[in-house]
Structure 1
Amino acid sequence: MVRRAPTADLGEVELHHGDLLDEDAVAAAVRGADAVVHLAGLTRVRESVEHPGRFYRVNVGGTATVVEALMSTAAATGAVPRFVLASTGAVYGTPKKQPIGEDAMPHPQSPYAATKLAAEQLLDAAAKTGGIAAATVRIFNAAGSVGGHADADDTRIIPRALAAAAGHIPHLEVYGDGSAVRDYVHVADIATAIVTVLTRSREGRHEVFNVGATPASVADIIDAAEAVTGRRVPVVRKPANPAESPELRADTTKLRGLGWEPRRSALRQLIADQWNPTR
């Protein structure tokens, strides 16, 4: 199901325009499907603080609608469908031990992260019924572009650094000395990770996989953005947020054990693809 019509020709892909909370529309979309990759949802952390009810309604209620519809259609055929949920590394909060493994205790620190964890728990309960083969990918920081479409969320550091380089915004605000490290991964590498876990999901099981590739600091991103664009990124320094973790890196040993390797997540390639998505 999609919110708006895609600009590219999708060939034999059948499109359903609808609302995740519309049970009839979701049931029609998943009818006959042997697998679902659930990417839809609300993602902006600050928005989730302002509108927590909306995030729970969409991210948890919407996931429940899709899972129930898929299990209902599968029960009629006797098949066990596969389901992959796109979650977030934000469910971990800010653990001191780095890199973060899937066995780290979740400690979500925003309504957004809490809704993603709740959706994971719902999927886990559904898998325990034996009616679904499930996996969750905890994506750290998606970046890059695919099909000529780049990340349009300018609250994220890479799009925002490039917007500053292009002059679309006056400057990039940097909190602290720019040494805070986060883990970035190209959207194309996320897609291959999803296919990898989807094909290996097992009936009655729910497994969780971290998806990350390239740890980089804010300063690294600014340097790479200037190198790729040939332009300066104007910066305004702000006091560091004491609650912000100095480092959040994904341990992807489990996913790599299935044969997955990132191919497009080198920092300069991520930024080049974001800067010129049609190249």
Structure 2
Amino acid sequence: MTGAYGFVGNAVVRRLSEAGHDVIAMTHRPVGAVLPSAPVASTVHADLLQPEQLRDAVRDADAVCHLAALTRVRESFERPDDYEAVNRGGTAALLNACEAEFARTGRPFRIVQASTAAVYGVPERQPIDEQAPPVPTSPYGKTKLAADELLIARADGTALGAVILRAFNISGAVAGVGDADLTRIIPKAVAVAAGQATHVDVNGDGSAVRDFVHVDDLARAYVLALQACAPGSHRIYNVGATGASISDIVAATERGTGRPVPAIHHPPKQEPPTLLADTTLIRRELDWKPERSSLNEIIADAWRAAAAGGS
């Protein structure tokens, strides 16, 4: 698994291990660095930008969950070349390594790829299903779509099987590990409640609705996707659960923590009023459904992690 020691990776590793998989965690952190505790069989140190390291990393593996990426939308406008190199170029290098491993062993290879709702842009039709034409509006979304297209092209009609999971907004916490990225609204609201930040910024009246999914529910989707991954084909699934506005999140955080979450309102921005996931396909084909993705539970888990210093 690439990105195994990240916020999402932590949750996915635990679910894969519980399902009986031996997880080899790939990290680009240097040898000797202190790594978080996780139920992994072993750890390999490799970088997506170093092809020879990737070949060693996938040796003797029969599947890859590819989570490593640069993921900040706003940052991607400032660093488009870095996002292109890591998200598209790194995925291409990883696929080359997987194909080389297949050539060495003759075993079919499965890949489950972390994608994002950002590939869709702002479709008029809501909720968004997997047939929506992808029109990404940021370098992040464009590079993740390019990575998806690379995987699809490599999988169809070959010994490679692929499942692409397009997650919407991921939050919550697993085993005390929450999301440390305060550019995202739930981690920021929780950080404000914990006294680690002064306020949340709200555009307009805070009524824009977005789709949120608990990181543990997303992790279960990875297990199901890996089980369903079939050589020579690809599938794409949206993963989302609960629609909530910024105002909903601020109010729920105040209720759940018993602490104030001051908000500073800024002039409205041109943004879609609603972006929601249609998850009919993953429910029908993988029998997946959210179990922990109520807004109250997402915030409660994120709060416990933040209060314990785990975000």
Range into which the TM-score falls when normalised by the shorter chain? over 0.9
1:8 matched to which residue of 2?
37
- Of all paired residues, the percent bearing the same amino acid is 50
1:247 matched to which residue of 2?
274
Out of 46, 52, 61, the position equivalent to 2:80 is: 52
The answer to whether the 8 Å contact 1:34/1:80 transfers is yes
Which is worse superposed, 245-254 or 23-32?
23-32
The answer to whether the 8 Å contact 1:19/1:26 transfers is yes
2:243 matched to which residue of 1?
215
Give the deviation of 1:169 after TM superposition. 1.9
Cα distance in 2, alignment partners of residues 43 and 216 from structure 1? 21
Cα distance in 1, alignment partners of residues 213 and 131 from structure 2? 21
Name the TM-score, length of structure 2 as normaliser: 0.86
1:76 matched to which residue of 2?
104
Give CA deviations for 1:157-204 in whole Å, capped at 9, x if unaligned: 001111222222221111011110000001111111111111111211
Give the deviation of 1:9 after TM superposition. 4.7
Determine helix, strand or coil for the equivalent of 2:219.
helix
Cα distance in 1, alignment partners of residues 148 and 54 from structure 2? 19
1:123 matched to which residue of 2?
151
Matches within 5 A, 1:58-207: 58-207=86-235
| Unmatched 5+ stretches in structure 2 | 1-25
Write the letter of the residue equivalent to 2:192: A
Runs of 4+ off more than 3 Å: none
C-alpha RMSD of the superposition: 1.3
Determine helix, strand or coil for the equivalent of 2:268.
coil
The answer to whether the 8 Å contact 2:157/2:233 transfers is no
Determine helix, strand or coil for the equivalent of 1:16.
strand
User: Is residue 57 of structure 2 the alignment partner of residue 32 of structure 1?
Assistant: no
Which is worse superposed, 208-217 or 122-131?
122-131
1:226 matched to which residue of 2?
254
Give CA deviations for 1:66-85 in whole Å, capped at 9, x if unaligned: 11101111122221111011
Give CA deviations for 1:221-279 in whole Å, capped at 9, x if unaligned: 0111001110111011111112x110000000000012111111111110111111269
Give CA deviations for 1:72-115 in whole Å, capped at 9, x if unaligned: 11122221111011010011111111100000000100000000
Name the TM-score, length of structure 1 as normaliser: 0.96
| Unmatched 5+ stretches in structure 1 | none
The answer to whether the 8 Å contact 1:75/1:131 transfers is no
Cα distance in 1, alignment partners of residues 131 and 142 from structure 2? 17
The answer to whether the 8 Å contact 2:208/2:273 transfers is yes
Cα distance in 2, alignment partners of residues 9 and 164 from structure 1? 28
Cα distance in 2, alignment partners of residues 200 and 223 from structure 1? 39
Cα distance in 2, alignment partners of residues 82 and 18 from structure 1? 20
Determine helix, strand or coil for the equivalent of 2:213.
strand
Cα distance in 2, alignment partners of residues 266 and 17 from structure 1? 36
Count residues in correspondence.
Answer: 277
Distance 1:57 1:247, change over 3 A: same
2:19 matched to which residue of 1?
none
